[in-house]
Amino acid sequence: MQAEKVSLAYATGQVLHDVSFAVAAGESFGIIGPNGSGKSSLLKLISGVLKPTAGELRLEGRPAHLHPRRSLARWMAVLQQDALPPLDFTVREVIEMGRFPFQNWLGDERNGDARQLIDTIVDRLQLQELQHRSVSQLSGGERQRVALGKVMAQQPRLLLLDEPTTYLDIGYQVQMMEWIRRWQQEEELTVVAVLHDLNLAAQYCGRLLLVQAGRVVSIGQPEEVIRPELLERVYGTQPIVLPHPATGVPQVLLHGGGAEHEA
């Protein structure tokens, strides 16, 4: 993936300004920044939903918005912060929906039955006891687990995460990110994640892109980006940054007395 001087404007104004970065195959790349900084808009450009107003964002050498949607869905998947509304489909049926890009108009797959793949995903995400239950009966954390199963069923090479842990408690957040990391490592999956939690971003992403008001502030490894002076400049608060005692990656502690955050 490569973005070269990408800009994006809506009718209400410009949201991205000359954003450039590259992501290598198999990399875990995080996008962080305050609310309204353009993170989700950037993810929509990567997914091909939006076209840049200037510059170019290429996936495998081709502008993202020019990839046919169905063929793109065979190798790219998106997991959002509230990926599944309370549906009347069962857990297993929702996971099976991830196979849609590979099916013909009769619902058959060229390469045979995907039941073994679905069984593996159900087992891996510990959904055995829930697989025949309606999604409408599940908690938010359980629904997000099902949503992860659905994108796993797509067997993508590129996974886009749009703040997938926002509505999850701390236990589900870590569990979700651990599943994704294991999957990424085993399949050499490329992951681009918009994350609100800086500590999760530092723990699970090899490189970070920090944006503010649609502009790149910093890009690099977590220890190069998660720095007190940068975070104070971008977030308007004075953080304490310490190395994680187990992994050594920077972790953020907040305290009072910082400048007021501008809306």
Residues 6+ apart with CB under 8 A from 120: none
Residue 256 in domain: no
| CA angle, residues 161, 229, 221, in degrees to nearest 5 | 40
| Same domain membership, residue 60 and residue 184 | yes
Q: What is the domain range of residue 144?
A: 88-153
Scored b (16 or more CB within 10 A) or e, 227-263 reads beebbeebbebebebeeeeeeebbbbeeeeeeeeeee
**Does 197 share its domain with 135?**
no
For residues 61 and 162, membership in a common domain is answered with: yes
Q: For the chain, what's the residue count? A: 263
Q: Report the C-alpha gap between 42 and 203 in whole angstroms.
A: 22
Q: Give pLDDT, residue 243.
A: 96
The CATH number covering residue 58 comes to 3.40.50.300
How far is residue 66 from each of residues 21, 47, 188, 210, 243, measured CA to CA in Å?
19, 11, 25, 27, 42
Are 13 and 119 within one domain? Answer: no
Count structural domains, the chain.
Answer: 2
Same domain, 115 and 208: no
Flag whether 209 is in a domain.
Answer: yes
State the amino acid at position 13 in one-letter form: G
Does one domain contain both 93 and 54?
A: no
pTM over 0.85: yes
Burial class (CB in 10 A: 0-12, 13-18, 19+), 14: middle
Which class for 76: exposed (0-12), middle (13-18), buried (19 or more C-beta within 10 A)?
A: buried
User: Both 142 and 192 in a single domain?
Assistant: no
Q: What is the 3-state secondary structure (H, E, C) of 207-261?
A: EEEEEECCEEEEEECHHHHCCHHHHHHHHCCCEEEEECCCCCCEEEEECCCCCCC
Q: What is the mean pLDDT of each run of 10 residues along the chain (263 residues)?
A: 96 95 97 95 95 96 93 92 78 93 75 86 95 92 92 96 88 92 95 96 97 97 97 93 95 71 42
Within this chain, do residues 9 and 101 fall inside the same structural domain, yes or no? no
| Parallel, antiparallel or unpaired: strands 158-162 and 13-22 | unpaired
pLDDT in tens, 3-62: 999 999 999 999 999 999 999 999 999 999 999 999 999 999 999 999 999 999 999 999
State whether 107 and 62 are in the same domain: no
